[in-house]
Structure formats: structure tokens, C-alpha cells
Amino acid sequence: MDSLRRWMDEKGVRKVKVGAIDMDGVWRGKYISLEKFYSAAKSGLGFCDVVFGWDLGDELLDNTKVTGWHTGYPDTPAKVDLSTARIIPWEPDTAAFLLDFVNPDGTPFEASPRQLLQKMGQRARKLGFLPKFGAEYEFFLFKEGPQSLHEKGFKNLTPLTPGMFGYSWLRTSMNAPLVHALIDGCNAYGLNIEGFHTETGPGVFEAAIRYDTLELAADRAALFKTVVKEICAKHGVSACFMAKVDPKLPGCSGHVHQSLWNLKEEENLFHDPSQKHGMSKLMRHYIGGQVALMPELTALYWPTINSYKRSVENTWAPTTATWGLENRTCAIRVIGDSGKSMRIEYRQLGADMNAYIGMAVSLAAGLWGIENEIEPPAPVLSNAYEAKNTKPLPRTLKDAVALLKNSERAHEILGEGFVDHFVRTREWEVRQYERAVTSWELERYLELI
């Protein structure tokens, strides 16, 4: 506590922001006083568990077990993770800390995505592996604010830049104040941006966050979307991480690079120069588990109704459970040929992922493959969209949730408590969509039917 107080004093901290991520990947938090924070740092604090009982729009779910009217929506104990201390660069007198939800007896709260990730990280280490992960996001930027988005009904939005111009030196320079604010702000916040460029599409950008050990990489990936939204708001811009914004344009990915190292961080266990393509047996089994479980775990990777609009042939997003060597048409792309670079790029994940869940589940599937020595199918050497004898991925959230709900392997590797709660939240999401009348229906049927 003494060193914490010294750090806070040196940084000129006058208030603290604490928060945790919900099932939809949204940060829920609040400002607290220094006095309140020091007390919480010692003994924890209470945080209303309604964050696990409502959806993106704060509508109360009617089917949850972990909280609800039947429990009275009590406070759940939360511990401050002091290792996550950071100063908010655009609020320089404010420190930020992440929270971990726990049960009254101090055990992990099973429904918490961050706790799931920590559980998978511990499991990997018990098996002798140090997971290294890194995320990259694609996202749209619009010259809009929350008010104009709603006033326009989220239609006819003005992109930050017009036209299709991937890897544009010109477009990034034209928007240098915002681009530099994003890069510098992320770096100052500890998110360590390795690359930043325009993607194909009006106002589309991509950022790659430097890889690190699993837990650090997940925190950075989970924080990234909120950080981008906060910085963009100061420039009159809105950032969108939907999987598919426009049917005529590619979707937004959230690819996650992955490798397993020995516990001393000295050796990349995915690389074996004596094996074909330099891929170790461990790496093959890791991929084998991921490919085998991909369809039944898809709801965890693609958590929204919109997620499935991204999975379209010839649009850079996978439609089948496949892998290949440097093949961007596959769900898993093997990259590198050395001990330093050998890794996989998990391409099924979209920008709308919950980073904790996406990383935790893909790791769990890989570890399951290693433990059960699952050999992957043959790599796809050409266009995976045209490949034969491949497992199709679910086409809707409803189908994906049904597969997950009935997956014995998902319950086994992720835990009954987490899977049950996640399924309930997605079943609610499906029901909300099924009741909705879309603009497509109105335009197609209102006049002519």
C-alpha cells in the first residue's frame, strides 16, 4: 500500500476509475474517490451484479440464474487488480484499474469473462506452456457523434475518408491529428501499437497491438475498443467495431495471433525445424483441436446477430473450419518459419468479439487438441471457400447457440457455469432479434404486400 500511495502521489492522481468487462465485451465502471479506492485496494468493493443480468441496451434478461429479480440484484464482491494500474492519458489526474469479480468466499465468479481467461492461462501453465497472444482490429470511423448517430437512425453516416484506399499513406497523413492521437494515446495507456494503417473501405482502419503473455494481451485487446472510442470522441468521430457494417464492403476482423512457449519463455514450442513446414507436433495438435471444435464453439467467437453477416464467401472471413499455410481464405492461418515467428492467426474472430472470451476459448480448444493428440485435417492449399470435405460454420447465432448448448466438450473445457450463463445471454439476444421488424422488411413488404 505504501508503494501504491507513492505511485499515486508521484503521478498526481486525484481520482480513480475502476471497471470490468461484461459478457458483451463492454466496459462497465465508475469513478471513485481516493479514500474509497485505498479501502477497495485492501479489502475489495461491491459492484452491482446487474452487469451480468442485462444486455447491451441495459434491458434486464429474463432467463439468468446468476442474478435477476429472484436474487434482488445484489452487489458482487470485486477485487482490484493492482497490477493493471495505468494513468488515463486524456484524464491525467485519473488512474484506472481493472476489477475481478469473485464469489463471497473469494473463489472466481464463473460468469466473468476475465476470470475465464485467467482460468485458461493457469491451465496452460500447468501443462507447461506459456501462451503468447496478440490482437489486431479493423474498425470504421465516422464523422458522427452519439447524438447524430441516433438522429440519423444509424443510416447515411459520413465516413472519415471516402472511397476504397487500403494501406494509404495519403489518408493517414490527411487525418494525422486523429491518427497520432490514437497511436500516442494507446501507447501511453500501455496498449503498445505495432502497426496502424487504412484498410479497404471508406473510413476503415486497422491496428495491431503488440503480442505479450496471454493475460496482458487480453487486457490490452479488451481495453482497445473503449480507448479508441474515447479518443475519437474528442475529435468528433465515432468508432464502430461491428462485424459487418455494409453488405457491399468487407467485414471487420479481430484476428488473434497465438503461440505457446516454454515456461521460461526461451523456446517457441510451435516450431520444430525437423518437421514438415517447421510445425511441431504440439502445434499440429493445437490446430487440430481448434478445427475440430470450431463449429460448436462459434457462438463464443461470433456473439452477435451481426457476426454472421461477416462470414461470406470471398470477403476475407471464413465460412468453414479450415487451416492453411499463409492462406487468408482459411479460418486459421499458419505464419512464420522460425522459432521467433512461428504462430497461428486465428481468423474466425471478428472485431465484435469479447477479447477475453475469444482468446480464452481458442486457447482452450487448442489445449484440448494437445491433450487428446488431435491431428488436423489436411491444410487447404487453395481457395478455402471452394474446398471440399470441410466442416461448415453455423450461419446464424441461433444455430450456433444450439450447437454450443449441446456441446459436452464446451462444458468440459470451459466450465458448466460459464457456458450456461453465456448460452442464456445469447438465447436472449436471439429472441430480441426475432421480435424485431427490420428496415429490410419494411422496404420490401410495406408497400407491395
C-alpha cell belonging to residue 255:
484476428
Task: Tell which residue, 288, 309, 308, has the closest CA to residue 299.
Answer: 308
> CB of 289 within 8 A of CB of 260?
no
For the whole prediction, is pTM greater than 0.95? yes
pLDDT of residue 362: 98
Phi-psi region of 73 (alpha: psi -120 to 50; beta: other; left: phi over 0): left
Distance CA 344, CA 342 (A): 7
Chain-centroid distance of CA 329 in Å reads: 21
Using DSSP's 3-state secondary structure scheme, residue 77 falls into: strand
pLDDT of residue 407: 98
DSSP category for residue 302 = S
In which residue are the cell numbers 512461428 written?
Answer: 342
Distance CA 335, CA 259 (A): 10
Please list the pLDDT of the chain residue by residue as tens digits (449 residues): 899 999 999 999 999 999 999 999 999 999 999 999 999 999 999 999 999 999 999 999 999 999 999 999 999 999 999 999 999 999 999 999 999 999 999 999 999 999 999 999 999 999 999 999 999 999 999 999 999 999 999 999 999 999 999 999 999 999 999 999 999 999 999 999 999 999 999 999 999 999 999 999 999 999 999 999 999 999 999 999 999 999 999 999 999 999 999 999 999 999 999 999 999 999 999 999 999 999 999 999 999 999 999 999 988 999 999 999 999 999 999 999 899 999 999 999 999 999 999 999 999 999 999 999 999 999 999 999 999 999 999 999 999 999 999 999 999 999 999 999 999 999 999 999 999 999 999 999 999 99
Name the residue type at position 342: M
Structural domains in the chain, sorted by start: 1-104 (3.10.20.70), 118-413 (3.30.590.10)
Q: Which helix (H) or strand (E) holds 45?
A: strand 45-48
Task: Tell which residue, 162, 196, 203, 202, has the closest CA to residue 182.
Answer: 196
pLDDT of residue 48: 96
Residues written for the chain? 449
DSSP string, 339-404: TTT-EEEE-S-BTTS-HHHHHHHHHHHHHHHHHTTPPP-PPP-S-GGG-SS-EEPPSSHHHHHHHH
Task: Tell which residue, 120, 21, 113, 38, has the closest CA to residue 82.
Answer: 38
pLDDT of residue 5: 95
In which residue are the cell numbers 432479434 written?
Answer: 433
